[in-house]
């Protein structure tokens, strides 16, 4: 039962991570920043608005946000809350998780192509190209930790990691895996250095440009889905990092929540301290992440 409560807490709490990132950026930029509940206000505002549909679009355009959100919500129930097992934990659940994210992406890309706009087509092509590089990196990283712990479900893996810890001998593996996962986390969530969530320049966008034509409820779904994705990938990264050895009590849950907040602050700091990469360099960064993860896997299999 408690595992469901934790998952619902994740559903409720995830937009707050965006607030933390934005507040961190504001403070480091010498600004006051938006209210902490702004992402919630935005979602509520958008839900109350009507959507406008171009007559060139078909059902695919409308299905994009709904399928995208649905797939990401299922992911929240698969990803464990730190050492707490997820409500749905089974062998190979991380394969389902990766492909649910893939399904969500497939529909977002299809909806973007459905508009027939050259901007959205460009965004779709970039998203497809970059995710093709990010996905193997994610699998390799998860394969490394699965092999290390001998578990085949995310809940099992993270429980094992927090129970045993990484230990001094496997520190390189931990370092390689978490670095790869951090890069994937930043890339998949359209953060700097890969994408700039704040830009208004269509020609430079990756993720944002695909959703330019969505409005109202659809955009609310997309924004909420994005915050859930931030949670899911953040939770995988934090699960691998395993700060301390949290038990399965409420205190462990609180510690995990603190870890997620710290990750958001770190994201804000990264965004405040460096510029975006040139778009042609992004594949190099993502293949780099894949390389690190592959190295981790080799070290584990050794």
Partner 1 sequence: MSDIKLARIKNAEPLSLDSLPILNTREFQDAVIASVAKGARLAALFGLPARIGKAVSASMDIVTIIAVLIRGDKGVTEVAGTEVKDSYPALTGHIVQAHLFEREIAEQWGVRPEGHPWLKPIRFHKGCRPGKDVWARPENEEISPGVTDFFRVEGEEVHEVAVGPVHAGIIEPGHFRFQCHGERVFHLEISLGYQHRGVENALINGPDKRSIHYIETLAGDTTAGHALAYCQAVEALCGHKISARAEEIRAIALELERCANHTGDLGALAGDVGFLPTASYCGALRGDFLNMTALICGNRFGRNLIRPGGVIFDLDGIKTDELMARLEKTFAGVKGAAGLLWETQSVIARFEDTGRLSKKMCRQLGLVGVAARACGVPLDIRSELPAGAYTKNRPAVCTFKTGDVYARAYIRWLEIERSFHFIKDRAENLAEDGAKAGMPVNPARNNSLVVSCVEGWRGEICHVAITGDDGRFVRYKVVDPSFHNWMGLQMALRNQQISDFPLCNKSFNLSYCGHDL
Q: Is 52 in the site for partner 1 (CB under 8 A)?
A: no
Residue 18's alpha-carbon distances to 38, 121, 141, 211, 226, in angstroms, are: 9, 27, 25, 18, 10
Beta partners for residue 84, in sequence order: 81
- Judged by CB under 8 A, the stretch of 8-16, 94-102, 202-210, 237-245 that binds partner 1 is 202-210
Of 25 and 159, CB closest to partner 1: 25
Least distance (Å) between residue 190 CB and partner 1: 11
Residue of 47, 175, 203, 301 that binds partner 1 (CB under 8 A): 203
Applying CB under 8 A, which part among 42-50, 75-83, 172-180, 269-277 lies near partner 1? 269-277
Residue 271 is a binding residue for partner 1 (CB under 8 A):
yes
CB 173 within 8 A of CB 302: no
- Position among 204, 215, 216, 217 found at the interface with partner 1 (CB under 8 A): 204
- Which tokens in the block code for residue 264? 């958001």
User: Which of 25/229 has CB closer to partner 1?
Assistant: 25
Interface with partner 1, residue 179, by CB under 8 A: no
Contact call for residue 279 and partner 1 (CB under 8 A): yes
Within 10 Å of residue 50's Cβ, how many Cβ atoms? Answer: 7
CB of 193 to partner 1, least distance (A): 7
How far apart are the two ends of the chain, measured CA to CA in Å?
A: 39
Interface residue with partner 1, options 55, 167, 200, 302 (CB under 8 A):
200
What is the three-class DSSP state of 121? helix
Is the Cβ of residue 151 or residue 188 nearer to partner 1 in the bound state? Answer: 188
Q: Which of 1, 168, 198, 302: binder of partner 1 (CB under 8 A)?
A: 198
Residue 66 buriedness (CB in 10 A; 0-12 / 13-18 / 19+): middle
In this structure, what is the dihedral angle of CA atoms 151, 141, 263, 38, given to the nearest 10 degrees?
Answer: -100
User: Is residue 32 a contact residue for partner 1 (CB under 8 A)?
Assistant: no
Return the exposure string of 124-148: e unless at least 16 CB atoms fall within 10 Å of the residue's CB, then b: bebbeebbebbbbbbbbbbbbbbbb
> Which stretch in 94-102, 180-188, 251-259, 270-278 sits in contact with partner 1 by CB under 8 A?
270-278
Residue from 5, 11, 74, 122 in contact with partner 1 (CB under 8 A): 122
* Number of residues counted as binding partner 1 (CB under 8 A): 32
Vertex 132 angle, CA 182 and 39, to 5°: 50
Cis before 115 (ω within 30): no
- Asked if 14 and 223 count as a contact pair (C-beta separation under 8 A), the reply is no
Name which position in 179, 199, 248, 287 contacts partner 1 (CB under 8 A).
199
Task: Tell me how far, at minimum, the Cβ of 277 lies from partner 1, in Å.
Answer: 7
**Six-digit token string for 31:** 């600004």
Stretch that binds partner 1, among 21-29, 51-59, 141-149, 233-241 (CB under 8 A): 21-29
List of residues contacting partner 1 (CB under 8 A): 25, 28-31, 118-119, 121-122, 125-126, 192-193, 196, 198-204, 271-281
């Amino acid at each position: 039962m408690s595992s469901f409560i934790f998952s619902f807490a994740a559903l409720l709490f995830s937009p707050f991570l965006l607030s933390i990132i934005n507040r961190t950026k504001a403070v480091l930029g010498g600004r006051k920043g938006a209210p902490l509940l702004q992402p919630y206000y935005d979602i509520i505002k958008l839900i109350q608005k009507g959507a406008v549909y171009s007559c060139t679009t078909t059902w695919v355009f409308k299905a994009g946000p709904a399928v995208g959100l649905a797939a990401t919500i299922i992911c929240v129930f698969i990803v464990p809350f730190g050492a707490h097992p997820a409500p749905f934990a089974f062998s190979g659940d991380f394969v389902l998780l990766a492909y649910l994210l893939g399904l969500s992406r497939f529909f977002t890309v299809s909806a973007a192509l459905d508009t027939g706009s050259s901007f959205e087509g460009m965004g779709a092509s970039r998203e497809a190209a970059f995710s093709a590089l990010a996905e193997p990196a994610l699998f390799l990283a998860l394969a490394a930790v699965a092999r290390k712990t001998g578990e085949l479900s995310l809940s099992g893996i993270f429980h094992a990691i927090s129970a045993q810890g990484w230990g001094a001998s496997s520190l390189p593996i931990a370092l390689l895996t978490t670095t790869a996962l951090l890069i994937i986390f930043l890339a998949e969530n359209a953060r700097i250095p890969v994408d700039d969530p704040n830009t208004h320049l269509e020609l430079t966008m990756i993720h944002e440009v695909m959703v330019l034509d969505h409005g109202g409820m659809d955009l609310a779904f997309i924004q909420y889905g994005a915050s859930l994705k931030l949670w899911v990938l953040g939770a995988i990264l934090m699960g691998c990092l395993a700060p301390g050895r949290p038990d399965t009590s409420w205190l462990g849950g609180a510690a995990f929540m603190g870890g997620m907040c710290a990750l958001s602050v770190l994201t804000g700091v990264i965004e405040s301290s460096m510029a975006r990469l040139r778009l042609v360099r992004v594949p190099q960064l993502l293949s780099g992440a894949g390389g690190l993860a592959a190295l981790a896997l080799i070290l584990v299999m050794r």
